[in-house]
Amino acid sequence: MQNRILIVEDDPDMVRAMAVRLKAQGYSLVVAKDGISAISVARKEKPDLIVLDLGLPAGDGFMVMQRLKALPDLMLVPIIVVSARNPKFNEPLALQAGADLFLQKPFEAAEFLGAIQNALRLWGVRPQAPK
């Protein structure tokens, strides 16, 4: 069974870059481009993991985390925040708001894939075997 990952990102180039790497590893993907659609897509798709940008239209990543953590069927889904915002200020805030990991943009592909695999392993979702 493929792990389903929700990417919440408004930059199409960033979505494409993450999608190429994740699909190559055998993950199933769904995408939301703003804060409001992130909540509805997560409720419908029930992802195993969420990759969440902080700077989003229609509700930032902090609002998305607050709403997801309030939903019983999504509150335990691991969230990896990816952001170009200042990590000294935003990483502690993101972790306090419910993120499990924080990656500073730009990041290396190996760092990104390692974070995905570790989050899935640590939070009890069966990781995908490398292809």
Instruction: Report H helices in 7-108.
Output: 12-24, 35-45, 61-69, 87-97
Collapsing DSSP states into helix, strand and coil, what is residue 59? coil
pLDDT at 2: 82
Tell me which of 73-87, 98-112, 117-131 is least confident.
117-131
Q: Is 50 exceeded by the pLDDT of residue 32? A: yes
Question: Token pair for residue 123?
Answer: 């939070």
Answer yes or no: are the C-beta atoms of 65 and 38 closer than 8 Å: no
CA proximity to 97, closest of 57, 131, 54, 38: 54
Sign of CA dihedral 31, 22, 28, 76: negative
pLDDT at 51: 98
Q: Is 70 exceeded by the pLDDT of residue 116? A: yes
Q: What is the mean pLDDT of residues 57-75?
A: 93
Q: Is 70 exceeded by the pLDDT of residue 101? A: yes
pLDDT at 131: 44
Per cent of the chain over pLDDT 70 is 93
Sign of CA dihedral 100, 87, 50, 17: negative
Domain assignment of residue 17, given as a range: 4-122
Q: Is 80 exceeded by the pLDDT of residue 77? A: yes
Is residue 74 one of the residues assigned to a domain?
A: yes
Tokens 């199409």 locate to: 12
Is residue 44 one of the residues assigned to a domain?
A: yes
- In the chain, how many domains are there? 1
Helix (H) or strand (E) holding 15: helix 12-24
Is residue 104 one of the residues assigned to a domain?
A: yes
CATH number of the domain enclosing 66: 3.40.50.2300
Is residue 127 one of the residues assigned to a domain?
A: no
pTM for the model: 0.91
56 vs 48: CA distance, rounded Å: 21
Is residue 114 one of the residues assigned to a domain?
A: yes
